[in-house]
Amino acid sequence: MKHLLTTQGLSKDDAILLLDTSAQMAATQSRENKKLPTLRGRTVVNLFYEDSTRTRISFETAAKRLSADVINFSAKGSSVSKGESLKDTALTLHAMGADAVVVRHSASGAAHQLAHAGWLDAGVLNAGDGMHQHPTQALLDAFTIRRHLVGNVGDDGRGPDSSVGADLAGLRIAIVGDVLHSRVARSNVYLLHTLGAEVTLVAPPTLVPVGVETWPCRVSYHLDETLEQWQPDAVMMLRVQRERMSGGSGAFFPSPMEYSRKFGFDARRLAVLPDHAIVMHPGPMNRGLEISAAAADHPRSVIVEQVANGVAVRMAALYLLLAGDDSTGSTSSNTGSTSTDERIAL
Amino acid sequence: MNPGSRMPESSAPPSPASGTVPSAAPSATSSPASSAAPSRDPGTAARTVLGEADIARALTRIAHEIVERNKGAADLLLLGIPTRGVQLAHRLAERLAQIEPTFSGEYGTLDVTMYRDDLRRQPTRAVGQTVLPGSLDGTIDDKVVVLVDDVLFSGRTIRAALDALNDLGRPRVVQLAALVDRGHRELPIRADYVGKNLPTSRSERVRVRLADVDGGADSVVISEVASAGVSTGSTGDASTASTGESEATL
Amino acid sequence: MSSTPSSTTYVLRGVRPYGTDPVDVVLSDGVIAAIGAPGTIEAGEGQGAGAVVREIQAEGHVLLPGLVDLHTHLREPGREDAETVFSGTRAAAAGGFTAVHAMANTTPTQDTAGVVEQVYRLGQEAGWVDVHPIGAVTVGLGGEKLAELGAMADSAARVRVFSDDGKCVHDPVLMRRALEYVKAFDGVVAQHAQEPRLTEGAQMNEGVVSAQIGLTGWPAVAEESIIARDVLLAEHVGSRLHVCHLSTAGSVEIVRWAKGRGINVTAEVTPHHLVLTDDLARDYDPVFKVNPPLRTAKDVEAVREGLADGTIDIVATDHAPHPVEDKDCEWASAAFGMTGLETALSVVQQTMVDTGRMTWADVARVLSENPARIGRISATQGRPIAVGEPANLTLVDPAATRAIDGRTQVTASDNTPFQGMELPGRVVATFLRGRATVLDGAVVDGPGNGTGADGKTLEGAAR
């Protein structure tokens, strides 16, 4: 696997490998010594054009737990704010010998361009590009869902994760909120579908993109109906950006109160769900808008665990991007009679 | 991961004669218990050096040696190195439980993938599980750890295992059991318990087959790497270090 | 125009006017001097002693009236790093054009008589094609106040086409006033139909692809709603309206309806909208970023059909050169537009002629006669191929194919969406008032081309 740019087109085998590797990474993170020597001597650059302390720290932690050298390159106070182009920044990182670049950018496609425009030969890990994709978020969501709804969670993480190897067949996931602008929604729709889950997007029609009909999911405009009649196993709430509701005639819904009434998740709506169902949110939350404090802090909320799992998933992604033989690239061959069971040809 | 299915190292001379005299036979514990005649047919590439009964006897002997060396089985922890080392640890644990009723019969798995020194020379390896017996409560501190692997070769896998152990805790002592020691060490590592010392040439492949993992009967087979250029080509790597100790089972 | 007629006489052997039966054609003193059956015309016939005569063996090649582009961005003044009047018109000649209309969105804007006269003069000095500046509808393309349309019309540039292209004249009152005002001098407003509020931050066609790849959508309705409004306004005030670069199936329907109603509307489509679709955005290569955006296969089919049945009157290039840095960057920061002068005829051949939907006479209609008529330059351009007519001609080898490479294009910019593609047809020669601006498929730098270079290429090329 040379790059991780999108979940669209990620094969089921690769997706499960990422989740299984995440499970092994997670197991190491309950140890006293959490650091592994695996990526010693490799350099990971966190290239963040958007402020996202949470995601950057998660990636930084993941890289450091694998003993990689980490360079943080954020847009603020850097040459980027002086007008340097993405291309020139990429050339600089290339010259510095970056092995992997974790990129967060407000422009959809920025990660794809870094990977394919010929500016750079490092592995590229998309940490969120515009409204397009945020694959590690979807992977950590799928990982969290798998642990809770397929495997046996509740232990301290030391034991083997009994969900290793499993997909998410038959599970029902509702993704609720601003789908239109959400890279989290896009990433999750494709990944969860690939893993065999059923997905329903729930949003006001203004926040569903034109063209959604080709996505492998259902769309509903009614949260209560979806919860009551469809009985999802997990409900994933999306963050609603404040600016979406204050655009004057361009606002996407009449008022925060109306949004909250119709699409906010609270204890009342939680009570409608099956007993095993979990509540998720990629963070940061707008408490009182898309999710109530009671729902966010409920025992069935796994929001804090999502954050913890983020480190393991990002360790797995970095491992699978960087641990292999460079020269075999993204299509390591399985030639000859060698068994494939430890060779990963992503 | 599954270290039992790696290709043999590709540093072998391009075309060793099939009748190569084994070099540098290790001198440690030699097993006279073999009942399968280690006959070599010059016309074929493979010969069986240990049969099912040989392997069973070797394991039984090792179990006794472990108890003898450690004066019982107190604090004993068997950790198998995937894939076949785990199965061997399981069999050793059964034997130990028979010999020493106080021994729980538990054993663990120690995945060493993330500690290997050859990650960048290989296609990406899947990471395996490390599992400690539940009764340990997650610590190996002050345990008598016996690492169990199928074939001891360059020593690099054991080096990785020692590093992995280090991250899990601080055992009182670490010992090593291997079903086969085929020589050609590249690090100052030796086994405490050996099923059979097997003089080999570097161009040979040693394959351990275990019924529970591979199907069929237990056996240890030596084969020449036929036309080395072809069958090792897939690793594309000329380093002796790259393939660890276990040999491939297909 | 003013350039002196060529002193060389050209005899085109075996050419097929509008793709019909072969004839020999003689070009002399800036006009078509003779047309006759093959072999019936002597090379030196009617010429004085010492006249330079060049014969061009062109059996099977198609002879068309010189192409006329109603929509070219020459970038000068202001963005000479992307293109100049000289380099852009030289590229036009290479593409078979003998006249271009230079869009108004320069810096400063072509919104005064002074600026349009400057561009007009630069065009004359360059000498590659006739350059007809387009005047801005509003001051600085600001969409707030009418520019001095009359002054531009009365200037030496004789502006007849007015457009805020790049921006839409979205204020309905302003649009009405502009439509009415230009009637005084038989002008036309060429509208860039894009409802601004519906396209804030828009990056590509809104649809299946934009939904997947997360780029802000530019909905078809933002184009169609403006066209619908404008044809009704044109009907109401009895004015002439031209719709720039129509790109959607719905737009074709509206124009078809308007024409059926007798509304005086003309419409253009670009070569790229005849063949490329929004799927090309998937790799985020900004060379495919253009305004209006590439649409869907259904829209491509609709504009082809509209062009074939006459609903769409012309093909215009919307040639939009950009420096490398404006395309070698993130999609969202990249400039809109693609070069088109040198590929337009090939794309029309591929999509319309080779598919059997249009004849070469139709090509002459949509790439020469109609645009000349809309731009009110029919006195000199888009003329019939007949004896006595100005020798503004394009000679095409329809059997040739060529691989497109932006770096070897004549235009100063590289941004072609057809990079690496094989396209049919090759412009073998272009004649501007009898002077060969292109011969043997290569531009001919001559004394009239503003560089002060000696004229060896022109006369030296003749045997």
Residue B37 lies in a domain: yes
Q: In whole numbers, what is the pLDDT of chain C averaged over residues?
A: 94
Instruction: Choose among B6, B124, B130: nearest Cβ to A332.
Output: B124
Residue C3 lies in a domain: no
Residue type, B250: L
Residues 6+ apart with CB under 8 A from C161: C70, C101, C132, C134, C135, C187, C188, C190, C242, C374, C375, C376
Question: What percent of chain A has pLDDT above 90?
Answer: 73
Residue C80 bridge partners (DSSP): none
- Name the domain count of chain C: 2
Q: Which residues of C touch A132 (CB under 8 A)?
A: 213-215
pLDDT at residue B36 above 60?
A: no
Residue C229: helix, strand or coil by DSSP?
A: helix
- A316: enclosing H helix or E strand: helix A303-322
Verify whether residue C278 is a known catalytic residue: no
CB-based contact, C207 to chain A, within 8 Å: yes
Please give the pLDDT value at position C47.
56
Q: How far apart are the CA of A332 and the nearest CA of chain B, in angstroms?
A: 6
Please give the pLDDT value at position A77.
54
Instruction: Choose among A186, A214, A215: nearest Cβ to C214.
Output: A186
Residue A73 bridge partners (DSSP): A47
Q: Please, what is the angle between helix B52-70 and helix B84-99, to 10°?
A: 60
Q: What is the pTM of this model?
A: 0.86
Nearest CA in chain A to B164: A36
- Its ipTM equals 0.88
Cis-peptide into B83, omega within 30 deg: yes
Residue C39 lies in a domain: yes
User: To 10 degrees, the CA torsion angle through A186, A191, A192, A196?
Assistant: 140
Question: What's the pLDDT tens digit per position in A153-171?
Answer: 544 444 557 788 999 999 9
CB-based contact C208 A213, cutoff 8 Å: yes
Partner chains of C (3+ C-beta pairs under 8 Å): A
pLDDT at residue C45 above 60?
A: no
Q: Are residues C362 and C397 both part of a single domain?
A: no
C-alpha separations of C285 from A9, A183, A314, C302, C334 in Å = 19, 20, 28, 25, 9
Which of C352, C374, C396 delimits the end of a domain? Answer: C374
CB-based contact, B176 to chain A, within 8 Å: no
Question: What percent of chain C has pLDDT above 70?
Answer: 94
Task: Give the residue, C289 or B250, on which the prediction is more confident.
Answer: C289
Grade residue B2 by pLDDT with cuts at 50, 70 and 90: very low
CB-based contact B125 A30, cutoff 8 Å: no
B193-197 β-sheet, strand order:
B108-109, B76-80, B144-152, B173-181, B193-197
Residue B249 lies in a domain: no
Of the candidates C111, C318, C326, C414, the residue annotated as catalytic is C318
Q: Domain limits at C254?
A: 66-374
CB–CB of C76/C106 below 8 Å? yes
List domains and CATH numbers for chain A.
12-133+307-331 (3.40.50.1370), 135-305 (3.40.50.1370)
Q: What are the tokens at A346? A: 């992503």
Q: Domain limits at B98?
A: 3-243
CB–CB of A127/A63 below 8 Å? no
Q: Are residues C162 and C256 both part of a single domain?
A: yes
Rounded Cα distance, A95 and C260, in Å: 63
Q: Are residues C364 and C410 both part of a single domain?
A: no
Query: Would residue B6 be called left, alpha or beta, if left means φ above 0 and alpha means ψ between -120 and 50 degrees?
Result: beta
- C288: enclosing H helix or E strand: none
What CATH number is given to the structural domain containing B206? 3.40.50.2020
Question: What's the pLDDT tens digit per position in B92-145?
Answer: 999 999 999 889 889 999 999 999 988 888 888 889 889 898 777 778 999 999
Grade residue C450 by pLDDT with cuts at 50, 70 and 90: low
Q: What is the 8-class DSSP label of residue A4? A: B
Q: Are residues C252 and C265 both part of a single domain?
A: yes
Question: What percent of chain C has pLDDT above 90?
Answer: 91
Q: Are residues C425 and C279 both part of a single domain?
A: no
Instruction: Choose among C197, C214, C325: nearest Cβ to A130.
Output: C214
Render C70-104 in DSSP notation, one character per residue: EEE---TTT-TTT--HHHHHHHHHHTTEEEEEEPS
CB–CB of A339/B250 below 8 Å? yes
CB-based contact, B155 to chain A, within 8 Å: no
C31-67 burial by CB neighbour count: b if 16+ within 10 A, else e? bbbbbeeeeebeeeeebeeeeebbebebeebbbbbbb
Sign of the alpha-carbon dihedral angle for B187, B192, B195, B198: positive
Q: Please, what is the angle between helix A183-194 and helix A12-28, to 10°?
A: 100
Task: Give the residue, C401 or A163, on which the prediction is more confident.
Answer: C401
Rounded Cα distance, B57 and B55, in Å: 5
Q: Are residues C219 and C169 both part of a single domain?
A: yes
Q: What are the tokens at A15? A: 């997706």
Instruction: Give the best residue of B86, B124, B135 to mutate against chain A (max A CB count within 10 A).
Output: B124
CB–CB of C291/C194 below 8 Å? yes
Residue type, C22: P
Q: Are residues C147 and C291 both part of a single domain?
A: yes
Question: What's the pLDDT tens digit per position in A290-306?
Answer: 999 999 999 999 999 99
Question: What's the pLDDT tens digit per position in A260-291?
Answer: 999 999 999 999 999 999 999 999 999 999 99
Please give the pLDDT value at position C93.
98
pLDDT at residue B27 above 70?
A: no
Q: Which residues of B touch A40 (CB under 8 A)?
A: none
